[in-house]
Amino acid sequence: MCPVAAVASVGGMNDNRTAMITGASRGLGRALAAGLAREGFDLIVDARDGAALDVVAGTVRAAGGTVSAVAGDVTDPAHRAALLAAAQAAGRLDLLVNNAGTLGASPLPALADYPPDELRAAFEVNVIAPVALTQLVLPLLRASGGAVLNITSDAAVEAYAGWGGYGAAKAALEQASNVLAAEEPTLRVWWADPGDLRTDMHQLAFPGEDISDRPEPSSVVPAFVRLVTERLPSGRYRAAHLMPREPVSS
């Protein structure tokens, strides 16, 4: 299939800022799609679950937003080519959000017991795929003076027992982001830790446990909106440190 044929509802050429968000069918990706659409971004969204992705796209459109939904697996080169085709059809790309990820083996095993195939898959999703997608869309991002936002984790910088596979992959993504920022000074490159959230992935890390005390993904969207709209310098950020401050009452 031609990559363009896999694109659903791609709009025509426009002057609006365009953001591509991977893993947008649920969790943080879904929340970011809604938040960036409210900020006036046209969206290109992807996820493996096409039905769930269509629900997200429908919600964005119902709120007056413009969105192209491209279902597929970001580790698949043909799917990444379809995402590029969607951005080319839109005529521009201002922001790439590499949000799609995988926890890896669950329940979380010690590194001594980590299945190599599971470790390889974790790196494929969390490192290789976002780097490969970034490579594809860099010409469009350079043309717009755009930005790359890679979603990371405190597991990339802290030693948590059981988190060796996921943490090592996110650490690799962080260093790749750091190097990209040095190599692409006209862009903004951010790698940002959203903190513990009430998501399906976080539940997989703690099977059978109640994680209802974790905040909803939508709670950190203002932090990411600030990062994007204020175009903060390239670097590593934590959502908790980016949350807009409440005005001080007199």
Q: Among 114, 160, 166, 237, which one carries the catalytic annotation?
A: 166
Cα–Cα distance measured from residue 138 to residue 250, given in angstroms and rounded to the nearest whole number: 47
Q: How many residues does the chain have?
A: 250
Show Cβ contacts of residue 162 under 8 Å, excluding neighbours closer than 6 positions: 107, 108, 109, 110
Contact 80/54 with Cβ under 8 angstroms?
Answer: no
Check if 166 is active-site.
yes
Cα–Cα distance measured from residue 116 to residue 163, given in angstroms and rounded to the nearest whole number: 14
List the catalytic residues: 166
